[in-house]
Structure 1
Amino acid sequence: MTVQEFQADKIEGTAKLLAFWLGAMPEDKQSWVPVVEGAAGLRTAREQVAECAAANRFFAVLLKGEKPTPFSPFDVKSEYASLEEAQQDLITSATECAAVVRGLSDADLAKEFVLRRGAMPGYQIIDFPYRNMAYHAGQINQLQLLYGDTEFHIPKG
């Protein structure tokens, strides 16, 4: 297994897990924002999933050598009509990103890509989609605890 295949598998697997955890939430809690004194920038679970899908597509475009449209994670809003649409968009975006990662050469991993914070080699960039989704999976798990769900949700199979 190559580094590219390993990372692509992580991207796809994390998207499926994040989609599962979104689905473990009651429908009304997927668009819920807790009231936390002094907190700023809190977002719903669906907004976080929408950001992850947008980020996956951003990195796919970047890694193809094209210029992605910049976005701010806090400007991404969920316009999903249903849970299934949110889950499918996330998984589709991860599949698209993983396909690009699988197609990278070893030279691409050493190549510098320009981001708003400066240049980074491809081997660092291919980790971003996975890390971003894992981070937001933790936030969604935290939202579950905040609304009182103490069940340990794990996919079957």
Structure 2
Amino acid sequence: MLENGLMMVAIILLINIVYVTFFTIRMILTLKGYRYLAAFLSMIEVVIYVVGLGLVLDNLNQIQNLIAYAVGYGIGVIVGSKIEEKMALGYITVNVITKEYDRDLPKQLRAEGYGVTSWAAQGLEGDRMALQVLTARKYELKLYEKIKELDPKAFIISYEPKAIHGGFWVKSIRGRKVK
């Protein structure tokens, strides 16, 4: 089966797509604190890597194998990142700055199920309202859409918090779903 050149290219391509997908997911799991799952995944990943690299190194005289390895690597990065987007592990904090005091933005976001803290702020052009919204990453895009719907000119910055402790979020929001 491995004597067929086209079959060899397909196998190398597929092996590298799977390897890099595992690699990407393992890295994200490690960063998110899922150490044991990441360690288990790395054991599978390294076996796939050694087999794929072995096939390429045993057949270095065939340039199409090296090309298949490189293309598989690139596709694997895309597939791994798409899977990570779907997994959407963790939480995000979104800071929103708006000059819309007449709208009750915090109340409307809370009604949608988001955890919101708000305060008065000063910007270059005067008074503003600052909001800090904490939500599960799986609701990130929905949150952005809602903020833009309520205030299309809102200034939005988001980041992933490393640790969360205490407050209303820990007590009740973690188990609650956004509408």
Q: TM-score, normalised by structure 2?
A: 0.27
The structure with the largest alpha-carbon Rg is 2
When you count strand as a share of all residues, which structure comes out higher? 2
Using CA pairs under 8 Å that are at least 6 residues apart, name the structure with larger relative contact order, 1 or 2: 1
- Taking structure 1 as the reference length, the TM-score comes to 0.30
